[in-house]
Amino acid sequence: MIKAIVNIGQLVTLAGPARPRVGAELHEVGIRENAALLLEHGRIAAVGSSDEIRSKVPLHEVLDAQGRCVTPGFVDAHTHLVFAGNRADEYEKRIAGATYQEIAAAGGGILRTVRLTREASEDELLASTRRHRDWMLRGGTTTIEAKSGYGLDHDTELKMLRVIARLNEEGPAHLIPTLLSAHTVPPEFIDRRAEYIRWVAEDLIPKVAAAGLARYCDAFCDDHAFTVDETRVVLESAKRHGLGLRIHAEQFRPGTGAALAAELGAATADHLETVMDETLAQLRQAGVQPVLLPGSVFALSRTQYPPARKMVEAGLAIVLATDFNPGSSPVPSMPFMLSLACLQMRLTPAEALTAATINAAHTLGLGAEIGSLEKGKRADFLIHEFTDYRELAYFIAAPARPRVFIGGAEVAT
């Protein structure tokens, strides 16, 4: 078993205050040169120089990083990991000019995946989700927030959450489950919206919370999903039952959920492409972290990215995630998100990396456990092919394969 990583040319620790990073702190990535990590029982026992650490460990338990860059594993704080099938035909329709909303109105989009996911057995769904997970692992993602939301009925929503639990138990990646039954109105309730909302709030959420199948509850607040008032009913129920809150907000139009996230004290408000300046102040005051999802903007061929620079200037603890899903963001790569964040949202590589690691960890209640390489934290880290962390964003869509370690053990990817 490896007990020390030595000869790390550039160790990017992300060490810092025990809270999400804001403002100038986003640039402070804690670089140590010619460094080493001492590992013990799956955790980081010490961070020091190669000479110092090498003397503590037998030679056969030492791994030479050969002067390469080491960073924390990525923490993807917004994914729709669990689904059956794909929507490649709709991708082609979008290229021909159809909008996301037009496809959804014609019975495609989310409802298409709902049909396929309902039809899949639990084992079939587990196999497809494992495939998606493995894509992420190969890119260096070690912790994944995973949502339900392609069931929209009792049996399938629970099936999706069980798949997340099974995959989490199987390892090696750590999955954090989120209930997203308020994703869209299912076809059988299309003329009974209020009844569906009531069922989610009064029946499904209590059952899921009691069974311990989810840590968070999310809702899609948008013109083609749920209104602010409907979203409030769902999330207030989730809050009463001890679930943390996340909201898909203001993706296509301002006034769709960000202020509600602040009102309810949500952990995150996600998307925010159209958020207004005054709402940013509300989010900051309430301690809500914005989760920026440039992959969906890119994949939908849109040009309005979240105002990341305004968020940084407003003192918000920004987060970067993939929004991996079969429709609007079939993009499982966190390194590609870093490239988009830098090129399209004008974040620096340091800001983007901070948003994709320690800040993301805090949105999942795991800031004391993962997201940085500090004594006592879980040893989730990447040994990259390069020597400078900025190359992560600079080499766009490079087929680089980092060596991935989770809990101190190397993962075969």
SS (H, E, C) 111-124: HHHHHHHHHCCHHH
Report whether pLDDT(413) > 80: no
pLDDT band at 405; cut points 50, 70, 90:
very high
Q: Which helix (H) or strand (E) holds 46?
A: strand 43-49
What per-residue confidence (pLDDT) applies to 105? 80
pLDDT band at 104; cut points 50, 70, 90:
confident
Q: Is 325 annotated as a binding residue?
A: yes
- Based on the number of CB atoms within 10 Å of its own CB, is 304 exposed (0-12), middle (13-18) or buried (19 or more)? exposed
Report whether pLDDT(100) > 90: no
User: At 258, is the secondary structure helix, strand, or coil?
Assistant: helix
Mean pLDDT of all residues in 101-107: 82
pLDDT band at 101; cut points 50, 70, 90:
confident
What per-residue confidence (pLDDT) applies to 106? 82
* Pairwise CA distance, residues 193 & 411, whole Å: 45
pLDDT band at 246; cut points 50, 70, 90:
very high
At 282-329, the pLDDT tens digits run 999 999 999 999 999 999 999 999 999 999 999 999 999 999 999 999
Q: Is 323 annotated as a binding residue?
A: yes
First vs last C-alpha separation in the chain? 18
Q: Is 107 annotated as a binding residue?
A: no
- Based on the number of CB atoms within 10 Å of its own CB, is 190 exposed (0-12), middle (13-18) or buried (19 or more)? exposed
> Residue 352 has which token pair?
């983007």
At 178-222, the pLDDT tens digits run 999 999 999 999 999 999 999 999 999 999 999 999 999 999 999
pLDDT band at 1; cut points 50, 70, 90:
confident
Based on its alpha-carbon atoms, the radius of gyration of the chain, rounded to whole angstroms, reads 21
Using CA atoms in the order 105, 107, 112, 114, what is the torsion angle rounded to 10 degrees? Answer: 90
pLDDT band at 137; cut points 50, 70, 90:
very high
Mean pLDDT of all residues in 96-109: 84
- Phi-psi category of 138—alpha, beta or left, where left has phi over 0 and alpha has psi -120 to 50? alpha
At 6-31, the pLDDT tens digits run 999 999 999 999 999 999 999 999 99
Helix locations, 171-257, DSSP H: 193-199, 205-211, 228-240
At 138-172, the pLDDT tens digits run 999 999 999 999 999 999 999 999 999 999 999 99
At 247-284, the pLDDT tens digits run 999 999 999 999 999 999 999 999 999 999 999 999 99
Residue 20: CB atoms within 10 Å: 24
Above pLDDT 90, what percent of the chain?
93
* Pairwise CA distance, residues 404 & 391, whole Å: 17
Asked whether the beta carbons of 132 and 332 are under 8 A apart, the reply is yes
What per-residue confidence (pLDDT) applies to 29? 99
Q: Is 328 annotated as a binding residue?
A: yes
pLDDT band at 400; cut points 50, 70, 90:
confident
Q: Is 253 annotated as a binding residue?
A: no
Mean pLDDT value across the chain: 97
What per-residue confidence (pLDDT) applies to 82? 99
Q: Is 218 annotated as a binding residue?
A: no
Q: Is 55 annotated as a binding residue?
A: no
Single pTM value for the model: 0.97
Mean pLDDT of all residues in 373-393: 98
